Structure 1
Amino acid sequence: MHHSRLCALVLDCQDGDLASAAEFWSQALGKPIKSTDEEGDGKYATLETAQDELQILLQRVDHPSRVHLDIEADDQDAEADRLEKLGAKRIGFVKRWWVMEAPTGHRFCIVRKQAEEFGPHLNRWD
């Protein structure tokens, strides 16, 4: 048995100026900037959201800009297995998450549990 839930909306930004991208999305979405350098490596920025909202993460990438979803799981491999049975494909393991592709061609990630408390809207999978 494992648990998972939709946890983040990720804005993949090909533009190298993540601070400017965070400023735009902060103003567009009405969410204050939490950090323009979340991990100290210049690759991630975050906007402030309430505990019961999706996280909004900006990520500097080499591929064209797009939006993808993150699913958090307390067992990433079990979640990847479950989604493969539904038709998804594993693209690769990057740092600490699985990059997956849905049968529709959309990319998404399975990430580790993001907060001490798993939060609302939790799914239980046997």
Structure 2
Amino acid sequence: MTSTETFHCTTCPSECLLTVCVERDGDGVAHVTNVQGNRCPRGKRFAEQEVVCPMRILATTVVVEGGDEHLVPVRTCSPIPRALHKDAMETIRELRVSAPVRMGDVIAANLLDTGVDLVASMDVGPA
């Protein structure tokens, strides 16, 4: 089955409007057959990744105990599959860290066995 998807590339400020032809095999696995609208090679790579396995940085907060802030913003060091975000949030919701926390501290190593660490995005001092 062949379909066409249209979305904007987000790899640079140009935000090219991409038109992507997608063919799904009998098992429902998507294969990109054509990409149009990209003004650079990154757009083609982005379109293929977005159709096959969309990846996103996950940003949220974690509870801090004994800190001058109650929450510390955190993010994944690199993108993880968007399909894992719900499971990642369930794991992160249970986390607690003790102050002090420094920006870049690893809050959760190898989140959901993705090979990607969850790190603090801000310093939090002791209360």
Q: Same fold (TM over 0.5)?
A: no
Please report the TM-score for the alignment, with normalisation by the length of structure 1. 0.28
Q: State which structure, 1 or 2, has the greater radius of gyration over its C-alpha atoms.
A: 2
